[in-house]
């Protein structure tokens, strides 16, 4: 596959350089300086925090853990990579630059972070410097011009062929982990044991992951961002929700699956959510308004609640009265790419004007209309969250709810099924299902 990436990379880097030059013109600047980032330490400690290169830096080069380095773009010139390779016998320093991407940059190797200033354009020229305040090198302090950043974010939404290839590889890597995690669940493993099986299968450690794995057994599946991995095995393995991804060359995957223990009611609910999810995935096409797809998810999930006799109301009434929000309290999904929750999900235009969320849906992470080669997650779910159920029980629609069935299903926590889907002008490409089909 590395040969395929090498073939696709020249067009990719030409595209990101052109986008950078466009952003400079849009913002009225002459040069773009992008920091990779600096290592930071815990408060009052010498232990470093986990480091990942800044996303705008990773857009140019597949260097995901490269500290104190810079990309410099000047229109009409070959982009410069200032590559920090310190002399260090306490830690393993970065290897010399190598790979299919190096020929596309004017590479300047430095030994100390402050040496980067020797390779920057003069101060008297208009510089757009992207990074955090602590990335500053002498008087070269990040100014993060809003128009430049907005332009970069907006144009980044459509993925290049190289990016799509990396994302497909990230899917395949995560699917190997999901297969191993399901097997560990079926074998009676603890949350921590399942998590370790996932890491082993993906070849990742915890710091490599694009986000912290959600490994929830039984009632923990109802905690949307469940953050622990218990080491003890529960007395009964009723259900398992795994939300876990992987990354390749800085590009993330984000996949969720839910499994049961054979209980008929919970199994029927998983099947219903899976059916809804596939109906929604089929609509990920250029021209599709994403908020409308989110509202369609509520309508379809209401149908599942009615079919399974959990709520005795029409689907239309459930949506109108916000009953579905008790069981589906989050957004349908989000853009994904260099970041799990990728940028520009709300952008109306290059200037950075935003498109508001629909009323009553405060957690939706994307409001744009899909365009060709946008990649989004589609992740509907149904959950039995005690806090939200208590509010429903105290409200005007309590009599329409089958509380005995709720009591039974609450022991299983909840269901979420998530794929990544690429919008095209024709049939969508479901990157996740394709990866599972060959795993």
Residues 207-213 have a mean pLDDT of 97
Q: Give the pLDDT mean for 218-238.
A: 97
State the total domains in the chain. Answer: 2
Residues 94 and 76 in one domain: yes
Contact between 264 and 187 under an 8 Å Cβ cutoff? The reply is no
- Do residues 204 and 235 both lie within one domain? yes
Q: What is the pLDDT of residues 314-339, one digit of tens each?
A: 999 999 999 999 999 999 999 999 99
Q: Are residues 152 and 262 in the same domain?
A: no
Sign of CA dihedral 329, 343, 417, 188: negative
pLDDT recorded at residue 124: 85
- Find the domain containing 6 and state its range: 2-156
Q: Given pLDDT bands bounded at 50, 70 and 90, which one contains residue 291?
A: very high
Residues facing 34 on adjacent strands:
71, 130
- The burial class, CB within 10 Å (0-12 / 13-18 / 19+), for 426 is exposed
* Judgement on whether residues 337 and 434 belong to the same structural domain of the protein: yes
Domain co-membership, 408 together with 389: yes
- Does one domain contain both 304 and 326? yes
> What is the tens place of the pLDDT at every residue in 16-45?
999 999 999 999 999 999 999 999 999 999
Percentage of residues in the chain having pLDDT higher than 70: 100
- In this prediction, residues 247-261 reach a mean pLDDT of 98
Domain identity same for 243 and 126: no
The beta-carbon contacts of 344-351 under 8 Å, at least 24 apart in sequence, are 344/153, 344/154, 344/156, 344/157, 344/368, 347/150, 347/153, 347/154, 347/157, 349/154, 350/26, 350/150, 350/151, 350/154, 350/155, 351/147, 351/150
Residue that finishes a domain, picked among 156, 183, 202: 156
Q: What percent of the chain is predicted at pLDDT more than 90?
A: 98
pLDDT at 1 over 70: no
Q: In what order do the strands lie in the sheet with 429-430?
A: 375-378, 419-422, 429-430
Last residue of a domain, one of 103, 127, 156: 156
Residue 383 has pLDDT above 90, yes or no: yes
In this structure, are residues 305 and 409 in contact, taking their beta carbons and an 8 Å threshold? no
What average pLDDT does the chain have? 97
Q: Does residue 109 sit in the same domain as residue 73?
A: yes
Q: What would the pLDDT profile of 66-124 be if each residue is shown by its tens digit?
A: 999 999 999 999 999 999 999 999 999 999 999 999 999 999 999 999 999 999 999 88
Q: Is the pLDDT of residue 439 over 80?
A: no
Q: Does position 125 have pLDDT exceeding 90, yes or no? A: no
Same-domain check for residues 150 and 177: no
Return the pLDDT at 86.
95
CB-based contact 164:172 (threshold 8 Å) = no
Q: What's the CATH number where 313 sits?
A: 3.90.230.10
Strand ranges for 218-359 from DSSP E: 239-244, 247-248, 251-252, 255-260
Give the alpha-carbon dihedral of 107, 113, 114, 117, to 10 degrees.
30
| Domain CATH number, residue 77 | 3.40.350.10
| Same-domain check for residues 247 and 268 | yes
134 shares a domain with 246: no
Both 261 and 148 in one domain: the answer is no
Q: What is the pLDDT of residues 389-415, one digit of tens each?
A: 999 999 999 999 999 999 999 999 999
> Of 234, 212, 238, whose CA–CA distance to 225 is shortest?
212
């Amino acid at each position: 596959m590395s040969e395929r990436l090498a073939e696709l990379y020249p067009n990719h880097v030409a595209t990101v350089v052109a986008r950078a030059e466009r952003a400079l013109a849009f913002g009225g600047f002459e040069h773009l300086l992008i920091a990779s980032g600096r290592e930071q330490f815990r408060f009052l400690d010498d232990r470093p925090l986990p480091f990942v290169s800044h996303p705008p830096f990773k857009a140019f080069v597949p260097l995901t853990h490269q500290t104190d380095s810079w990309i410099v773009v000047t229109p009409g010139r070959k982009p410069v990579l200032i590559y920090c390779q310190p002399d260090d016998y306490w830690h393993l320093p970065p290897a010399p630059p190598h790979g299919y991407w190096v020929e596309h940059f004017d590479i300047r190797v430095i030994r100390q972070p402050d040496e980067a200033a020797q390779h920057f354009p003069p101060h008297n020229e208009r510089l757009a410097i992207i990074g955090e305040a602590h990335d500053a090198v002498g008087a070269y302090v990040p100014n993060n011009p809003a128009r430049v950043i907005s332009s970069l974010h907006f144009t980044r939404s459509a993925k290049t062929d190289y990016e799509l290839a990396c994302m497909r590889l990230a899917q395949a890597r995560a699917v190997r982990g999901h297969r191993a995690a399901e097997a560990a669940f079926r074998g009676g493993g603890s949350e921590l044991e399942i998590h370790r099986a996932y890491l082993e299968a993906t070849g990742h450690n915890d710091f490599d992951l694009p986000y912290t794995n959600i490994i929830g057994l039984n009632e923990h599946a109802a905690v949307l961002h469940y953050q622990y991995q218990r080491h003890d095995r529960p007395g009964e393995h009723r259900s398992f929700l795994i939300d876990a991804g992987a990354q390749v060359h800085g590009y993330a995957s984000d996949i969720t699956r839910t499994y049961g223990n054979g209980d008929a009611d919970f199994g029927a609910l998983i099947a219903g959510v899976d059916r809804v999810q596939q109906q929604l995935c089929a609509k990920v096409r250029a021209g599709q308004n994403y908020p409308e797809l989110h509202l369609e998810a509520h309508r379809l999930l209401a149908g599942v609640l009615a079919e399974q006799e959990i709520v005795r109301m029409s689907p239309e009434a459930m949506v109108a009265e916000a009953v579905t929000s008790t069981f589906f309290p989050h957004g349908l999904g989000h853009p994904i790419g260099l970041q799990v929750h990728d940028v520009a999900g709300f952008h109306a235009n290059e200037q950075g004007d935003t498109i508001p969320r629909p009323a009553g849906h405060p957690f939706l992470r994307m409001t744009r209309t899909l365009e060709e080669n946008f990649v989004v997650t589609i992740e509907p779910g149904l959950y039995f969250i005690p806090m939200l159920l208590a509010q429903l029980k105290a409200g005007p629609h309590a009599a329409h709810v089958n509380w005995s069935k709720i009591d039974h299903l609450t022991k299983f926590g909840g269901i979420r099924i998530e794929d990544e889907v690429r919008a095209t002008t024709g049939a969508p490409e479901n990157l996740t299902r394709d990866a599972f089909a060959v795993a």
